[in-house]
């Protein structure tokens, strides 16, 4: 995982650097690159080619099987469906998309997800912190928190459908303490939060794995030093751990966002089918409906292209924001 700190023993080989709070990657990279350029002159040809050889397979795969199909797919979004199959229709599909209240609703839900994102990152982050700080039972937690991540979303959805049914056990418990029943999946103001909650619950184990790998290389003496100085737990987390793990956090942010925007289909399909009243539509589900159910593949392509652009912008924004935060910390 993107671990902010070099392994402890490696760090000690580097005299003159103190504190783990500095974004160490930057400095290393700069010194590394200077060195490479200096040496490049006298290096044998084979060695100069080495970087290209090393990246070649990755570049080939990504260009041929990701970027090239992306271009083809984006191109397809400018053609028509049904009667106009194969003909160029310019921006018609995009205009139709943005006129469709359902798609606009899906985009609003994307906005909501972006707002919820920090919570979805903070939960596994905090849990990993506590496990790292060895709360009683940490070994057990480290193992079982990953359990939901191995279950298929369909079964997770089916279980929560039962638990959250109007006459289900959760409402029975709420009723017992005098809180009226909540229609978790039937109330348009509540359903989206319910589904996102279940998604976070079902996937936090994966982010936890990433965080734990990050913690594995965190310099324990830093936390110890802060503790000796009398720092409280929130202070330690905020001033010591978070800045040291900025790369891990950045990575979890990006992958959690991708997970929320592209892999909630299973849950949506089972738990709400986009309803009630269309309130839980996400672009991904919209694409599935248009492509499979309504047979509008070109319109679906346009929707996927929009989804790609949104993810690109939001993702890059997050990366640069976090990078800046890392520098300032």
Considering only residues 164 through 223, tell me which ones interact with other proteins, judged by CB under 8 A.
164-167, 169, 181, 183-188, 191, 201, 205-206, 209-210, 212-213, 216-217
C-alpha 5: how far from its chain's center? 21
Which tokens sit at 217?
A: 């290389």
Query: Where does this chain touch other proteins (CB under 8 A) — which range of 90-98, 110-118, 290-298, 321-329?
Result: 290-298
How many positions of this chain bind other proteins (CB under 8 A)?
Answer: 138
For residues 253 and 316, give the distance between their C-alpha atoms in angstroms, rounded to a whole number: 11
For residues 43 and 258, give the distance between their C-alpha atoms in angstroms, rounded to a whole number: 41
List the interface residues with other proteins, window 225-254 (CB under 8 A).
227, 233, 247, 250-251, 254
For residues 51 and 288, give the distance between their C-alpha atoms in angstroms, rounded to a whole number: 40
**The one among 91, 95, 119, 144 contacting other proteins by CB under 8 A:** 144
**The one among 255, 322, 325, 329 contacting other proteins by CB under 8 A:** 255
**Cβ distance to other proteins smaller for residue 24 or 116:** 24
For residues 225 and 182, give the distance between their C-alpha atoms in angstroms, rounded to a whole number: 48
Residue 293 makes contact with other proteins by CB under 8 A = yes
Residue 315 makes contact with other proteins by CB under 8 A = yes
**Cβ distance to other proteins smaller for residue 29 or 324:** 29
262: which residues sit within 8 A by CB, 6+ positions away? 284, 307, 311
Residue 204 CB, nearest approach to other proteins (Å):
9
11: which residues sit within 8 A by CB, 6+ positions away? 5, 17, 20, 219
Residue 149 makes contact with other proteins by CB under 8 A = yes
For residues 259 and 240, give the distance between their C-alpha atoms in angstroms, rounded to a whole number: 28
Answer for the pair 265, 318: CB distance below 8 angstroms, yes or no.
Answer: no
Which tokens sit at 190?
A: 């509540």
Query: Where does this chain touch other proteins (CB under 8 A) — which range of 90-98, 112-120, 299-307, 321-329?
Result: 299-307
For residues 314 and 312, give the distance between their C-alpha atoms in angstroms, rounded to a whole number: 6
Which tokens sit at 60?
A: 């080939």
Query: Where does this chain touch other proteins (CB under 8 A) — which range of 87-95, 114-122, 307-315, 320-328?
Result: 307-315
List the interface residues with other proteins, window 106-125 (CB under 8 A).
none
Query: Where does this chain touch other proteins (CB under 8 A) — which range of 89-97, 111-119, 265-273, 321-329?
Result: 265-273
Residue 118 CB, nearest approach to other proteins (Å):
19
Residue 115 CB, nearest approach to other proteins (Å):
19
Residue indicated by tokens 């009630």: 276
For residues 300 and 294, give the distance between their C-alpha atoms in angstroms, rounded to a whole number: 10
**Cβ distance to other proteins smaller for residue 76 or 193:** 76
List the interface residues with other proteins, window 40-99 (CB under 8 A).
46-47, 50-52, 54-70, 72-74, 76, 82, 85
**Cβ distance to other proteins smaller for residue 242 or 287:** 287
Residue 289 makes contact with other proteins by CB under 8 A = yes
For residues 158 and 125, give the distance between their C-alpha atoms in angstroms, rounded to a whole number: 27
């Amino acid at each position: 995982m993107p671990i902010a700190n070099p392994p402890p023993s490696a760090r000690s080989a580097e005299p003159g650097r103190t504190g783990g709070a500095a974004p160490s990657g930057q400095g290393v990279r700069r010194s590394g690159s200077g060195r490479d350029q200096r040496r490049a002159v006298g290096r044998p040809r084979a060695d100069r080619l080495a970087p290209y050889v090393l990246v070649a397979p990755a570049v080939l795969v990504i260009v041929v099987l990701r970027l090239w199909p992306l271009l083809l797919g984006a191109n397809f979004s400018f053609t028509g469906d049904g009667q106009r199959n194969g003909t160029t229709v310019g921006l018609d599909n995009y205009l139709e998309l943005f006129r469709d209240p359902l798609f606009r609703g899906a985009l609003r839900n994307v906005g909501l997800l972006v707002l919820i994102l920090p919570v979805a990152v903070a939960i596994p982050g905090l849990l990993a912190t506590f496990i790292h700080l060895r709360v009683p039972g940490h070994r057990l937690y480290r193992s079982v928190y990953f359990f939901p991540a191995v279950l298929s979303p369909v079964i997770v959805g089916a279980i929560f459908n039962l638990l959250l049914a109007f006459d289900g056990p959760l409402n029975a418990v709420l009723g017992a303490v005098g809180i009226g029943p909540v229609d978790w999946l039937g109330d348009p103001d509540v359903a989206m939060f319910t589904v996102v909650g279940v998604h976070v619950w079902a996937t936090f184990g994966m982010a936890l794995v990433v965080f734990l790998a990050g913690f594995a290389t965190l310099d324990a003496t830093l936390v110890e030093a802060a503790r000796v100085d009398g720092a409280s737990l929130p202070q330690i987390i905020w001033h010591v751990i978070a800045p040291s793990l900025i790369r891990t956090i950045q990575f979890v942010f990006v992958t959690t966002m991708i997970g929320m925007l592209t892999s909630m289909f299973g849950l949506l399909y089972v738990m709400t089918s986009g309803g009630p009243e269309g309130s839980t539509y996400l672009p991904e589900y919209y694409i599935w409906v248009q492509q499979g159910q309504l047979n509008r593949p070109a319109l679906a392509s346009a929707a996927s292209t929009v989804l790609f652009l949104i993810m690109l912008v939001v993702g890059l924004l997050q990366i640069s924001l976090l990078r800046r935060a890392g520098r300032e910390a």
